[in-house]
Amino acid sequence: MLVPQSEQTKHNKSQRLESQRKEIDDTLATFALSPTQLQEVKAKMRVELERGLKKDSHPTASVKMLPTYVYRTPDGTERGKYLALDLGGTNFRVLVVKIRTGMRNSVRMYNKIYAIPLEIMQGTGEELFDLIVQCISDFLDYMGMKNTRLPLGFTFSFPCNQTEVTSIGDLVSWTKGFKATDCEGYDVVDMLREAIKRRNEFDLDIVAIVNDTVGTMMTCAYEDPKCQIGLIAGTGSNVCYMEEMNNIEFVEGDEGQMCVNTEWGGFGENDNTEDIRTRYDREVDGGSLNPGKQRFEKMTSGMYLGEIVRQILIDLTKRGLLFRGRITERLKTKGIFETKFLSQIESDRLALLQVRSILQSLGLDSTCDDSIIVKEVCGAVSRRAAQLCGAGMAAVVDKIRENRGLDHLEITVGVDGTLYKLHPHFSTILKDTVRELAPNCKVDFILSEDGSGKGAALITAVQKRPFIQKHFKILPTPNLNSTVYSTACTEMENGLGRDTNPTATVKMLPTFVRSIPDGSEKGDFIALDLGGSNFRILRVKVSHEKKQTVQMENQIYETPEDIIQGSGSRLFDHVAECLGDFMEKQKIKDKKLPMGFTFSFPCAHSKLDEAVLLTWTKRFKASGVEGMDVVKLLNKAIKKHIMAVVNDTVGTMMTCGFDDQRCEVGIIIGTGTNACYMEELRHIDMVEGDEGRMCINTEWGAFGDDGTLEDIRTEFDREIDRGSLNPGKQLFEKMVSGMYMGELVRLILVKMAKEGLLFEGRITPELLTKGTFETKHVSAIEKSKEGLTKAKEILTRLGVEPSEDDCIAVQHVCTIVSFRSANLIAATLGAILTRVKDNKNSPRLRTTVGIDGSLYKMHPQYARRLHKTVRRLVPESDVRFLLSESGSGKGAAMVTAWASRLEVCGAVSRRAAQLCGAGMAAVVDKIRENRGLDHLDITVGVDGTLYKLHPQ
């Protein structure tokens, strides 16, 4: 049966349209992402986030995770007047931002916008920064502020490696159409300062430099404290968020948070998005200024979406599917189809005639069908962009939730960018995607109405607020830790040398303790322990029945302040009285027990039971003792023979060595601080002999007394030193030990209150009183759960009525003071461990460090911080940290047991030598008389292990 011609024509046309429709649908299907594909994008983004944070994988990660050194978001207490710059696209903005005291939503801004011509964007770096400075000059004239030196915040929206918030570091690469020469790899702040110098009209106090994502987050966080993520969805695409410090491996410190600029626009540079990239993405990438770079940004940002649409339209037109197959010169022009046209065309309120009108303005003669297709193309491209951003955001919020160990997270994202603001569907698709891919996160999005310039001003205000950052160099960088470590290594070497010891600050005193316990010790001993305001006496029984056991009984006696700073005879008489009381209570007054003495002050030993006090520390100032043998003074007072005198670090090492014979380092981190370790005798120039080992008491508390630590000492350290009993001495100990830590915190709080940064400027008499803020308060305040409650209690007792923000600030002060202490101790301990490792000539050190001291024991975070930094400084080591539960008194008993055995052995060997000597005298006298001589010169040939090996 023949079909009429008209119907055949209709049928053919229908088939042709159906075929064309299928081609269009197939083309746009390459932009459609399934739920599975979106989950894969999320998973891959998460992997890259983690890789960017790891020290080893960071160099090759496509998502760079750049640290910003912004540690906190605004809390509403910011105030002042600031200058802000905002450079991130074709427009450059200069602002003055005024923030009123303590009130949110109290920011006034004045700004001017300046265009950056294309020839400048792609010219030289000098031309670009000269134009920036010219714009600043014009704005300052406009505001009448040419002679006002305001703090400056600079929003610089390109990937940079920062080393601190006041330094942008090196520009990694230009993005968003910028290509100014001689900038990549150079410090942007330096270039800005040089341009200001060239103009020579004004000066700027550059306080903070941030990425636009960070500025956006800070702007929105001022309105919503839950905002801890910043998103830019405009010309470029990027995200920042508050990451846990302990996850950022290439930045020093593991306490608190830091904002990380993900630079997620580079996602895909390692080809892990190839499965979702289309031929059009590759054409856009190939024709860009940076082929192969910023691939994710080229699929999601406003700078490229219009160009992707143009490439699709050209392809569909070539295939006769659009514009009757006619490609106009306008359509061939790169950049002619701007992203704003996507937003207009996709508007639900726009009729097809208006879409056609937009196309005609671009020189595209379209039909209604063409308008429908163009609208579908725009929708496919923008929908994919929003979904990809949503998948990336889902990876970020899920990471934050897991960081915090939460089943459910509520968080706010601050957003800026024309794509998010102006596109009719982008924000909705983005939010829906996040909701589907991160169901355990409730994510709110808040629009930044004031741009990232306001955020730069707020960061400047935040940086000005915690003035600790400026005055207190507490958080050492890896370089600073390494510097302290290497300086300590040098000082230890100097302390061991005969020629260099007199001028060395680390005295490296020989203790004449030649071995750690070996399990053969036994007996009944008395141990005295003097090192602070409490004097302890112990009776230590070491027995060998089935296995070696230690029984201890002890009594603590207070040493009054008038005795601590009185005369030496009164001090040792007090020790004798306490000993008499103890022996009477123990019913051993008539027993003659071996006695050891833990004396925790720097002494020069000539043998185990001779110790000349070099200098008092820890508030002791008893007269007539420095330069004297403390063993003689004590023996005179108690009429008993002290067999061994040891430092508390030595006692700690011996105590822990009794439990673990690998222990060869002892360290005290309490009221004072010190360390000892087993050194090769051949390296100790001040002691005869080169066989075996001897324990060295480093006396590292004096480290820095020669000025080597001046770069890291602060005004507060100097104030504490001036008010101490020994100004200019024990400077390292005054920076790290428990005796001074609370006072350091108190001085900082007073200064902050005086500057109006705490307690609304109120300073109470209690807060001004020396010693009212104790180190135990630091430990209590830093506890994770009840710390803020404790802070409020302690501050209330000091007469202060703290706000919640005050308590948070005080907790932060405590954290950075204790963190510095742990870092500095770790650096010096690292020097000791490296020396022990080198002495053994072993590729990997396996050893145990015995530790005692209230700061190490009681502070909730101290031990973890110390261990982590030691591992970083001495990576080729397995170090066990063993806590001394019994104090250093048990160690003194171990040394006494060793000395007792030595004394018995000495008596036997001495008698043997004397008897041999008497016999030899008879022989040589007989030979002299045989020869009738008044004087005989003769040689005796000797052999035998006793003569050869016995030291005496």
Rg value, the chain, Cα: 38
Q: Is 189 in contact with 209 (CB distance < 8 Å)?
A: yes
If you write DSSP's letter for every residue of 825-853 in order, what string do you get?
HHHHHHHHHHHHHHHHT-SSEEEEEEEE-
* CA of residue 211 relative to chain centroid, distance: 21
Closest CA to 320 of 757, 636, 20, 755: 20
Q: Which residues contact 368 (CB under 8 A, 6 or more apart)?
A: 352, 356
Distance (Å, rounded) from C-alpha 293 to C-alpha 385?
A: 17
> Which residue of the set 536, 693, 713, 820 is catalytic?
536
Number of H helices, E strands in the chain: 33, 26
Closest CA to 898 of 512, 615, 637: 512
> Which residue of the set 371, 448, 600, 888 is catalytic?
600
Residue with structure tokens 């080198």? 838
Other beta carbons within 10 angstroms of residue 651's beta carbon come to 36
3-state secondary structure of 229: strand
* 97 DSSP β-pair partners: 82, 109
Q: Which tokens is 36 given?
A: 């599975």
Distance (Å, rounded) from C-alpha 105 to C-alpha 222?
A: 8
Residue with structure tokens 């630590």? 709
Distance (Å, rounded) from C-alpha 430 to C-alpha 939?
A: 101
**How long a stretch of residues is the chain?**
952
| DSSP strand pairing (409-416 vs 441-447) | parallel
3-state secondary structure of 574: helix
Closest CA to 203 of 136, 112, 124: 136
Distance (Å, rounded) from C-alpha 599 to C-alpha 532?
A: 10
Closest CA to 536 of 563, 554, 559, 560: 554
Q: Is 600 a catalytic residue?
A: yes
3-state secondary structure of 555: strand
* CA of residue 784 relative to chain centroid, distance: 18
Q: Which tokens is 589 given?
A: 């007054």
3-state secondary structure of 252: coil
Q: What is the DSSP letter of 132?
A: H
Other beta carbons within 10 angstroms of residue 697's beta carbon come to 27
| DSSP strand pairing (595-599 vs 523-530) | parallel
Q: Which tokens is 866 given?
A: 């110390």
Q: Is 34 a catalytic residue?
A: no
Distance (Å, rounded) from C-alpha 400 to C-alpha 70?
A: 17
Give whole-number Cα distances, 743 to 123, 618, 711, 719, 740, in Å. 56, 14, 21, 10, 5
Q: What is the DSSP letter of 344?
A: H
Q: Is 648 a catalytic residue?
A: yes
Write the Ramachandran bin of 33: left for phi over 0, alpha for psi from -120 to 50, otherwise beta. Answer: beta
Q: Is 817 in contact with 778 (CB distance < 8 Å)?
A: yes
First-to-last alpha carbon distance for the chain, in angstroms, is 130
* 550 DSSP β-pair partners: 542
| DSSP strand pairing (151-156 vs 205-210) | parallel
CA atoms within 13 A on the CB side of 563: 17
> Which residue of the set 450, 648, 721, 852 is catalytic?
648
Q: Spell out the alpha helix ranges (H) of 629-737.
A: 630-638, 648-659, 715-722, 731-736
Distance (Å, rounded) from C-alpha 440 to C-alpha 409?
A: 7
Instruction: Name the residues annotated as catalytic.
Output: 536, 600, 648
